[in-house]
Amino acid sequence: MAARTWILSGALAFGVATSALAQSGPTAAPTAEHKALQYFVGEWTTDGEFKQTAFGAGGRGGSTDSCTWFDGNLHVICRGEGRLPGGTKAHLGILSYDPARRAYTYYGIDGTGLTDLAVGKRTEKTWEFTTSPVDVNGKSYESRYTIVETSPTSYSFKWETAEKGTQKWTIVKDGKATKK
C-alpha cells in the first residue's frame, strides 16, 4: 500500500510540475499523426471471441466505448465497459502520438486494477501496438494488438500473446468494432 501511495503522490507531483511548465510554454499543435486519431473519436461497440488461453476462459466478449478528444486535440480518451466471459469491467484508455518516439501510445486501466502501456505504429489503415511483458501463471507474455480499419465506421481487431522471447503468437481475442 505504501508503494502505491508513493507512486500516486509522485504522479500527482509530476502532473503539477508538468502543468506549471506547460503554462509557461506554447501549446503544441496537432500533427498529421495526432489528427489520424480522429478515426477513434465516437461511440463504439465491439464484439469478439475470446480463445481459451493462459489469460482466461474462452467465450464471447465485447465492450461499449465512448471516445472523445482531450483538451488540445492531442489525445483521445476512451471510457467504456467490457463484457467478458466471467462478467463485466470498466476501463479507461488514452490514445496519443508521441513525436519524440515517432510512435503512437496507448495507456489503459480497468476496474480489476490492471494497467497496460503499449507503443504502436500506423501503416495506412493498420494500427499495431505491442506491450511490455506481463506475468501470468508464472510465465512472462508479450502482447500485440492489431486494428484494421475496414470502413470509416468499423474495424477488425486481433489481440495476440507470445511467451516472452518466442515470437510464437497465439490469438487471445479477435472481433469487430462498429461506430454508432
In a domain, 17, yes or no: no
Identify the pLDDT of residue 41: 98
Mean pLDDT rounded to a whole number for the chain? 86
pTM of the model: 0.82
In a domain, 22, yes or no: no
In a domain, 10, yes or no: no
> Structural domain tally of the chain?
1
CATH number at residue 149: 2.40.128.20
- Structural contact between residues 94 and 75, judged by C-beta atoms closer than 8 angstroms: yes
Identify the pLDDT of residue 12: 36
Question: Which DSSP string corresponds to 149-171?
Answer: EEETTEEEEEEEEEETTT---EE
Compute φ and ψ for 136, nearest 5 degrees.
Answer: -135, 120
Which SS3 state, helix, strand or coil, does residue 103 take?
A: strand
Q: What is the pLDDT of residues 54-108, one digit of tens each?
A: 877 888 999 999 999 999 999 999 999 998 887 889 999 999 999 999 999 999 9
Q: What is the pLDDT of residues 108-127, one digit of tens each?
A: 998 888 888 999 999 999 99
In a domain, 125, yes or no: yes
Closest C-alpha to 170, from 154, 159, 156: 159
Identify the pLDDT of residue 26: 58
Q: What is the pLDDT of residues 2-59, one digit of tens each?
A: 433 333 333 333 343 444 444 445 578 999 999 999 999 999 999 999 998 887 788 8
Q: Is the pLDDT of residue 171 over 90?
A: yes
Would you state the cell numbers that stand for residue 160, as one nine-digit string?
495476440
In a domain, 13, yes or no: no
In a domain, 6, yes or no: no
In a domain, 1, yes or no: no
Identify the pLDDT of residue 135: 85
In a domain, 170, yes or no: yes
Structural domain including 62 reads 28-179
